[in-house]
């Protein structure tokens, strides 16, 4: 089961904070750094590092956008990021179903 | 067993993140209280102008309710902009565009219908209450689902008024104060919900 998990999804994705970040970006579409910081309760440095890892992996991107009342840097998922997130959701669904069958 | 724990933990993380993002305040509670005051004042003024000076429905709409909508709408706009600023929301997202388009469509449609009914001299008491109910239902679709309590209560009252007390000054007076109370109740309710969900 885990082999399958690690073969299909890389280590960038496999970290609790980054999974939460991916979920938040998937749900909200575009989020500013300050809001991500507030929601995730992380320091600037820690959040920046996690976001940069997601950007380097091609799962997230940053660009300028009108957010609130000003132009700010916002983060969003790339098409690849959305694809891998949905794929992971499908994978989790399959695994949870398999676990339920196993327990019956 | 470790892998099962891992998978369940990931499901929990995703679910808790999605749950926390499911609904939002949209408008600070004080904006509802300001609408409550504006509607109560407009209702009292309309009643006095109708009784004292014999204003017609369309005269009341133009002299009382257009300014009332502008004043209440201005407060609402200030509230909405402050929320937008606080939450640093991006206008160019599907969620935001769907919300803005649905609210604008509902409000403009109801206002056009209200003025048209007012000009035709139809009773409007039930219509006012049902209109507010429709606005709260739209709000409930984007905010916390508990807002539907006020929405359905107003719908129930509005339908009763439409059936049994839709015409006359007393019915309009009652409808105005019911709408005002509806705004105040929604403001209090949203304040409680914001504290519960957003901390």
Domains of chain B: total: 1
From the list A20, A67, A96, the residue facing B88 with the nearest CB is A67
Tell me if B198 sits within 8 A of B28, measured CB to CB: no
**In this model, does residue B18 exceed pLDDT 90?**
no
Number of domains, chain A: 1
Q: State phi, psi for A97 to the nearest 5 degrees.
A: -60, -45
**pLDDT confidence tier of residue A6, bands split at 50, 70 and 90:** low
Given CB atoms, is B94 within the 8 Å cutoff of chain A?
yes
Say which CATH number the domain at A12 has.
Answer: 1.10.10.10
User: Once rounded to an integer, what is the mean pLDDT over residues B159-165?
Assistant: 91
User: Are B90 and A31 inside 8 Å of each other by CB?
Assistant: yes
CA count, 13 A, side-chain hemisphere, A99: 15
> Is residue A2 over pLDDT 60?
no
Position B42 pLDDT exceeds 60: yes
Pick A8 or B28 by higher pLDDT: B28
Q: Please tell me the distance in Å from B38's CA to the nearest CA on chain A.
A: 27
| Cβ-Cβ contacts under 8 Å for A100 (sequence gap 6 or more) | none
- In this predicted structure, the answer to whether residue A1 has a pLDDT above a threshold of 70 is no
| Percentage above 90 pLDDT, chain B | 52
- Distance, first Cα to last Cα, chain B: 35
d(CA B153, CA B130): 10
CB contact at 8 A, B169 and B47: yes
Give A29-85 pLDDT, tens digit per residue: 999 999 999 888 889 999 999 999 999 999 999 999 988 888 999 999 999 999 988
- DSSP letters for chain A: -HHHHHHHS-TTT-SHHHHHHHHHHHHHSEEEHHHHHHHHT--HHHHHHHHHHHHHTTSEEEEEEEETTEEEEEEEE-HHHHHHHHHHHHHHHHHHHHHHHHH-
Q: How confident is the model at residue B69 (pLDDT cuts 50, 70, 90)?
A: very high
pTM of the model: 0.81
Comparing alpha-carbon positions, the chain A residue that sits nearest to B22 is A27
Does any domain span residue B82?
yes
Lowest mean pLDDT among B24-28, B77-81, B82-86: B24-28
Mean pLDDT of B57-68: 89
Domain that holds residue A27: 2-102
| Contact at CB, A23 and B10, closer than 8 angstroms | no
Give me the mean pLDDT over the B7-36 stretch. 83
Q: Which residues contact B45 (CB under 8 A, 6 or more apart)?
A: B64
* Ordered strands of the A60-67 beta sheet: A30-32, A70-77, A60-67
Chain-chain contact of B11 with A29 (C-beta, under 8 angstroms):
no
Residues of A in contact with B1 (CB under 8 A): none
The ipTM is 0.73
Does residue B154 surpass a pLDDT of 90? yes
- Mean predicted lDDT score pLDDT of chain B: 89
What pLDDT, on a 0 to 100 scale, did the predictor assign at position B92?
Answer: 85
Q: What is the pLDDT of residue B7?
A: 79
What is the extent of the structural domain holding B59?
Answer: 28-198
B110 close to B131: Cβ distance less than 8 angstroms = yes
Work out the pLDDT band at B121, boundaries 50, 70, 90: confident
Check CB contact under 8 Å for B3 and A65: no
How far does the CA of residue A103 sit from the closest CA of chain B (Å)?
A: 12
Residue B57 above 90 pLDDT? no
Please indicate if any CB of chain A lies within 8 Å of the CB of B100: no
- Residues of A within 8 A of B93 (CB-CB) are 28-30
Searching chain B, which residue's CA lies closest to the CA of residue A33?
B88
Domain assignment of residue B21, yes or no? no
């Amino acid at each position: 089961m885990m082999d399958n998990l690690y073969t299909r999804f890389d280590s960038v994705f496999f970290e609790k904070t980054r999974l939460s970040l991916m979920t938040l970006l998937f749900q909200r579409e575009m989020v500013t750094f300050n809001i991500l910081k507030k929601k995730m309760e992380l320091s600037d440095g820690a959040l920046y590092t996690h976001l940069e890892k997601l950007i380097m992996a091609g799962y997230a991107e940053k660009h300028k956008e009108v957010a609130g009342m000003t132009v700010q840097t916002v983060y969003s998922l790339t098409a690849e990021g959305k694809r891998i997130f949905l794929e992971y959701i499908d994978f989790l669904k399959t695994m949870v179903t398999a676990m339920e069958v196993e327990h019956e | 067993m470790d892998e099962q724990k891992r998978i369940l933990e990931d499901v929990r993380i995703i679910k808790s993140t999605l749950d926390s993002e499911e609904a939002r305040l949209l408008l600070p509670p004080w904006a509802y209280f300001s609408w409550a005051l504006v509607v109560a004042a407009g209702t009292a003024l309309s009643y006095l102008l109708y009784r004292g000076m014999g204003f017609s429905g369309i005269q009341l709409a133009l002299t009382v309710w257009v300014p009332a909508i502008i004043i209440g709408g201005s407060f609402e706009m200030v509230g909405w902009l402050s929320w937008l600023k606080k939450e640093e929301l991006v206008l160019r997202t599907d969620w935001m565009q769907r919300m803005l388009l649905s609210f604008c469509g509902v409000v403009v449609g109801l206002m056009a219908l209200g003025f048209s009914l007012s000009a035709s001299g139809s009773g409007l008491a039930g219509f006012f209450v049902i209109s507010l109910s429709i606005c709260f239902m739209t709000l409930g679709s984007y905010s916390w689902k508990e807002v539907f309590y006020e929405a359905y209560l107003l719908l129930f009252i509005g339908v009763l008024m439409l059936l049994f007390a839709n015409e006359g000054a007393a019915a309009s007076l009652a409808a105005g104060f019911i709408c005002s109370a509806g705004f105040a109740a929604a403001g209090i309710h949203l304040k409680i919900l914001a504290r519960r969900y957003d901390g």
